[in-house]
Structure 1
Amino acid sequence: MFVNEVCGGSALGDPLGGCCITPNGYALLLTKLLGFAQGRIVMALEGGYNLRSIANSVCACAKVLLGDKFTFNTPEMQPFESTWRVIQAVRNELKTCWPVLSSKLPENVSLRIKPAPSELYASDSESDSEDVDELLGTVASVSVIEATGVAISEHLSKMKLDDDSLAVKTNSSCSAAEQHPVDSVKVHNNASVVLTKKISDLSLEWRSDLSKTDVWYASFGSNMWRPRFLCYIQGGKAEGMNIPCCGSRDTSSPKGTVWKTVPHRLLFGRSSTPCWGTGGVAFLNPEINYNEKSYVCMYKITLEQFNDILFQENRLVLEDGKDGNTVYPDSPLIGSSEIKFISTNRAVHLEPIKDSWYSNVLYLGNEDEVPILTMTCPASDIERYKSGELRLAPPSETYAATLIKGLVEGKQMDADGAASYINAAAARAL
């Protein structure tokens, strides 16, 4: 649940703040936040001395919460420098949690240093009767944005936010992830806010959108063996696994399978997992090294399915003990905007699950114009392995046998060659 705080000190005319946000500005922000939080909003009032300013700001927000339709009309006024500066600072602070905020704001925006005298409210409650005349229509209704400026208001009105970025407490027993559980996850995507849809529709909108986008999932560990990989898609467990997978919402088989090698070091780390027992599991060093060659089996799946695999790898899927239903996070970790970001930056460390073992999504290029993605540890973990803080450990016999079956059945090498490949990777120091 989100708390929408109407900060009176930031409102136009209040002597405390410099942001000069009009009631219509609050209405626009709340309209966006409603979609962001899927309607789960608690509104609170904080601070402020100008009673008329506070009343109009709260009234505008209340109208939005009660269902008044909000429309954007091009304003005639320019944004205040203080407002623009605060927005830039907030976006910069939060962009690691919500990558959609990494997009650039308009440049060369004409800014005002302070409001005109006619825009200021009196802060003395005895002067409240004069405030209406001094508003100059900026609080007439919530259907028009006025003192926020063309560039900033248009950008806000068109801004795409995640359907849901709530913290989801998880501790799954049904996941076949090769790691320990994490405590929470904030989830993202770039789906547009659509307030007219039901909340249940909003929570599923991202799945429909991402099911139309294909990616190659590059597996370098146990998922190289197709029967084991299909557990992440269709559920269940394969030979050697101690616990079953929940599977993906979309259980469709991969549209294609391709093998290739990548210039990244294969390593085995950690000491035990719920799925494979004692022994290390596979990671790729996110740093490119053209002296290294690791085998990957690539499955062509949808971006929706990739997110479900990412959820399971990081133990973010719950099994409801009451009715036996499987509960997935409401929104994806990787949306279309993250795909664009990662294709430029080669990797994205998912800040909301930064302590998870497979929280780093790597971009390995394209195959037939479709992006190749994999998931591994962050670069910071590699440094911890080098320092000895984290333990490098050879894989268990069962886990190694699964990798060997993947390489052999994928016709990449014979059993002896596959065993040598794995043993060499496990024996070398970083």
Structure 2
Amino acid sequence: MTAQSAARRPEPLTSRESIPTLVWYAAYGSNMHLDRLMYYIAGGRPPGGARAYPGCRDQRPPRAALPVLLPGQLYFALESKVWTGGMGFYDQTDAGEMPARAYLITAAQFSDIAAQEMHEQPGQDLDLASALKLGSASLGLGRYETLVCPGQIDGYPVLTFTAPWRRADVEVTRPSAAYLRNFASGLHEAHGWSTEETAAYLETRPGVAGAWTTEAITDALSTGPKNGAPDSWGINARGGAPA
């Protein structure tokens, strides 16, 4: 799987009636790192992780991975017990585009990853019909219990998770340097972005804008533990951006 191809944008779904066998899971947080995602799929505790993941029923790796640009915006809100700063969320109704990494997995694998993000036990298929038909569907009131379907790529629907509220309905929160480094290394792995490109993107995100200077962001991204260290991966499903 190569992450350095041109980023794709979802296109309108051609069919919203049936649940396909395969879907694109669009990760915009720590699961932009394939190694991190594999803990959700194969199970285990990531380095520095707060808990061990049971894994998916189907533990095969993704069939493909693509850099994608989703309509909407990344923002930071609430307070992470692990990162001690704002958490990453996605508002698909905002203007702009959000870089993410899409993995081609089975619908059952997506259901099991979603269950682990929601602190539930994997093993049951989610009803994806409402998300496919309406573009989003809330499965609960939790921080990552709302499914969003911004379209399809190569005939397979794109799905991700976020909060049930909109960015305008919550107070944004300054993210920590460790969390920004996690995003930076994920964007580099997924999109091949440089430190400068990542800093220019992050400095405009709600929660970062006005709370971090360009120089401070660049310095934070250029120093500290790199991807794979506990500083980058030490989060749980409620404490950081979903994949």
Is TM (by shorter chain) over 0.5? yes
Q: Which one of the candidate residues 362, 372, 380 is aligned to 2:158?
A: 372
In the TM superposition, residue 267 of structure 1 has moved relative to its aligned partner by: 0.5
Match of 1:415 in 2: 195
Matched, 1:244 2:52: yes
Match of 2:126 in 1: 333
SS in 2 for 1:364: strand
Matched, 1:285 2:91: yes
In structure 2, distance between residues paired with 1:418 and 1:262:
16
* Identity score, percent: 28
Give the residue type in structure 1 aligned to 2:150.
L
How does 1:25-40 map onto structure 2 within 5 Å?
none
Q: Which runs of 5+ in 2 are unaligned?
A: 1-16, 211-243
Q: Which has the higher strand share?
A: 2
Match of 2:142 in 1: 356
8 Å CA contact 2:44–2:55 kept in 1: the answer is yes
Q: Which has the larger radius of gyration?
A: 1
Q: Deviations over 1:329-388 (max 9, x none)?
A: 5x33334xx1xx3333111122xx2x111121111111110000111111x353430xx4
Q: Deviations over 1:35-78 (max 9, x none)?
A: xxxxxxxxxxxxxxxxxxxxxxxxxxxxxxxxxxxxxxxxxxxx
Q: Deviations over 1:130-150 (max 9, x none)?
A: xxxxxxxxxxxxxxxxxxxxx
Matched, 1:400 2:180: yes
SS in 1 for 2:49: coil
Match of 1:83 in 2: none
8 Å CA contact 1:240–1:398 kept in 2: the answer is no
In structure 2, distance between residues paired with 1:277 and 1:375:
20
Match of 1:203 in 2: none
| TM value normalised by structure 1 | 0.42
| TM value normalised by structure 2 | 0.71
Match of 1:344 in 2: 133
Match of 2:61 in 1: 253
In the TM superposition, residue 297 of structure 1 has moved relative to its aligned partner by: 0.2
SS in 1 for 2:31: helix
8 Å CA contact 1:224–1:297 kept in 2: the answer is yes
Give the residue type in structure 2 aligned to 1:421.
Y
In structure 1, distance between residues paired with 2:133 and 2:187:
30
Give the residue type in structure 2 aligned to 1:382.
R
SS in 1 for 2:69: strand
In structure 1, distance between residues paired with 2:94 and 2:80:
27
Change (3 A) 1:332 1:220: same
Q: Deviations over 1:387-425 (max 9, x none)?
A: x4xxx2233333222221111122431123223322331
Change (3 A) 1:307 1:424: same
Q: Which one of the candidate residues 186, 195, 208 is aligned to 1:427?
A: 208
SS in 2 for 1:366: strand
In structure 2, distance between residues paired with 1:411 and 1:342:
27
Give the residue type in structure 2 aligned to 1:286.
Q
8 Å CA contact 1:286–1:377 kept in 2: the answer is no
What count of residue pairs does the alignment treat as equivalent? 193
How does 1:131-210 map onto structure 2 within 5 Å?
none
Please provide the CA RMSD for this pair: 2.4
In the TM superposition, residue 258 of structure 1 has moved relative to its aligned partner by: 0.6
In structure 2, distance between residues paired with 1:416 and 1:231:
30
Matched, 1:300 2:86: no
In structure 1, distance between residues paired with 2:44 and 2:181:
19
In structure 2, distance between residues paired with 1:248 and 1:280:
28
Q: Which one of the candidate residues 26, 32, 50 is aligned to 1:224?
A: 32
Q: Which has the higher helix share?
A: 1
Match of 2:224 in 1: none
Change (3 A) 1:394 1:363: same
8 Å CA contact 2:32–2:189 kept in 1: the answer is no
Q: Which runs of 5+ in 1 are unaligned?
A: 1-102, 104-189, 191-209, 318-327
In structure 2, distance between residues paired with 1:271 and 1:309:
23
In the TM superposition, residue 239 of structure 1 has moved relative to its aligned partner by: 4.3
8 Å CA contact 2:66–2:190 kept in 1: the answer is no
How does 1:72-151 map onto structure 2 within 5 Å?
none
Change (3 A) 1:348 1:411: closer
